[in-house]
Chains A and B, each alone.
Chain A
Amino acid sequence: MKFKAFLTDNGVNLLEKRFLPALDKMGRICHLYLSRDHAIFLHNLLNGDGVQSIAQFRKETLFEDYRISSQNDDRIAFSLDLALLHRALRSSVSICIEGGAANRLQIKLVKKLPPNSRQPTPFLTFETKGYKSAVIQDVPISKPLSRADVMELQSALDMAQDLPQTLVQVPDLVQLQSFVDRLKHVGDLLNISITQYGDLHLQVSTTLITVGSEFRKLRVLGVQAEVPAGDPDMSAQSRTEMAIQRGEALSVQVSMKHFAKSLQCHLAKPDCAFYGIAPQGTCLTVIFQFFIPGTRQTDKSVSLHCRLPVLETGSG
């Protein structure tokens, strides 16, 4: 089992400034899954109850001279602590800058004997050559996943690729986040409804209070329906109820904590975000898109999406 590569400037920038801070908020421990073509950071794919997040990079986006080999079809997966990875990366970068442009940041998988131990342990190692010094940083990682576990991870990953039929684009993630931050005081459970007309309706309800927010006329991807003619003064609740009855909307209940967490992905600076409910209301999916810098074209080499477990389905 071997893995060795050099991080590109773009890769360093993406990980250090954007993705690692965002992913760290999703949970400190995650799986890093490396294959011949991709590096993928995965949260909660093997244990079902938290927010699943999947950040996938084509190898060229992060690395050059990418070498990987394993007896399991050149696939390696292990879990690691994102805060440690972030810290090691940050300090390696500062040394690298000090050393000048010719320096490259190498990352590799090693097995070492830690001090006071006889058991060799696996590490992800960052190696930087500064102007006069070389610095090696070892990030401890879990034992690589067994063949069976990698298979399970891969099948969970395949399952997580299913797209909701209708996705609506959220106009302003930061604004939504500040609203949700204030809504957190109201209750722990959030009802979300998404219509095929491009309405997104969030609602928290307790015995004493109901607070909600409705965004209308959002951009719709996938299955779309014409806005039915109706009373323009109709309340958000009635509008949503009607759409559900017509089979043109889905509604689910998720944990407020999970929803707030998924919004932390804005730290990865996505260019747009879409919300959708999987068929039969099995989960709430959030898809973040990144543009090729300077264009409005989707960068297919980077992808990030989250799946929030559903507590209760409001519609069939």
Chain B
Amino acid sequence: MSSSAVEADTPDLVCQLDNVQGMVDALSSVRWKRHQDAVVELSEHGVVLIVEETGCLQAKVYLKRELFLSYEYRSEGRPRFGVSLGIFVDCLNTFSVPGHSSTIEIRYPGPDMQLLLKSVDSPDACIYAEIRTRIPDTISWDYNFEPAGSTPLSFTVKSAALKEAIDDLEWPGSSIQIVLQPDPPSVTFKGEGHGDLQIDFMYYVSTDLLIAFHCDRRVSYRYKYKFLRATTSNIPSSVIKDNRGSKLTIGRGGMLKVQHLVSVSRSSIQHQHIDSAGYQQPSRIAYIEFYVKPEEEEEDI
């Protein structure tokens, strides 16, 4: 248990982070249920956290090394470990003092393969945590995302509008059809269940909502509502406030990729005042990606 044992072996990673709330926001956005096991992968480029749901939905949070105040990586391979996402987020939350910017140090592995966290702001008042890690499960299926053709099938929509549309589709529920067509350029979300609901984003009518659109042929896939909902249900309020775009891409076989950007700016107080025009250092962004598999029976129409 003594700290000297930690120092004897060089840890794979020692990094410092000055915006804990930003990291909490980023990790919370992939927290769609109470008990989730996550796999964390460390590399010289940063930290990636992966969660998945029985082979249908996978989410990744990319925390690039530039997000950290310091990042000392000393491993040969790419160490991976499993951790409970809920515990990790609740624990990080303990370090985030409202109205204060707090700096924490993250270290892996500890003497017993734990993930170690500690606050480093003041030597006389310190918070620390040790999270038990486990050997990660193998990823159940390959989420290699491949483009569907020569032209990417993608659109970028304001995050708030996307969340609102998906929230509204809760009423028909169960299965949601997403249709992209080039003429007229539009995206349609269609729900049929307890009644029908169709939400159209017309590219030329609402360029402020649908920011970008690429599509050379009509495609249509169905996705389970609960998985679609998981992609927006927990996006942090800062993302809605910044209201940049969320990018959705349909790949080979109808695999849907949803990307959000979460600001991890220096101070948690400051980032609430940045409007959509506000400049953000690109390095201070955490990337969130969701991969949703389509429902199987549906083929291209």
Contacts and interface: CB of A to CB of B under 8 A. Distances in A.
Contacts of B91: 186, 209, 211
A235 interface: yes
A67 interface: no
Given A233-B3, A236-B126, 8 more contacts: A175-B97, A182-B90, A209-B87, A210-B130, A211-B129, A213-B127, A216-B123, A237-B1
Contacts of A178: 97-98
Contacts of A171: 125
Interface in A206-225: 207-217
Contact of A208 (B93, B128, B131): B131
Given A185-B90, A238-B2, A212 B128 contact: yes
Contacts of B266: none
B124 interface: yes
A263 B97 CA distance: 17
Interface string B82-119: 00100100110110011000000000000000000000
A180 B93 CA distance: 12
Given A208-B132, A209-B132, A237-B1, A216 B94 contact: no
A102 interface: no
Given A175-B97, A178-B98, A182-B94, A211 B127 contact: yes
Given A182-B93, A182-B94, A207-B132, A234 B126 contact: no
A210 to B, nearest CB: 4
8 contacts: A171-B125, A179-B94, A185-B93, A186-B94, A209-B131, A211-B130, A213-B127, A235-B1
Interface of B: 1-4, 7, 84, 87, 90-91, 93-94, 97-98, 123-132
Contacts of A213: 125-128
B87 A208 contact: yes
B82 to A, nearest CB: 11
A236 B128 contact: yes
A233 B98 CA distance: 27
A214 B94 contact: no
Given A175-B97, A178-B97, A178-B98, A211 B128 contact: yes
A210 B1 contact: no
Interface in A42-72: none
Nearest to B99: A178
A183 interface: yes
B287 to A, nearest CB: 27
B83 to A, nearest CB: 9
Nearest to B132: A208
B87 A212 contact: no
Contacts of B129: 209-212
Nearest to B116: A235
A193 to B, nearest CB: 14
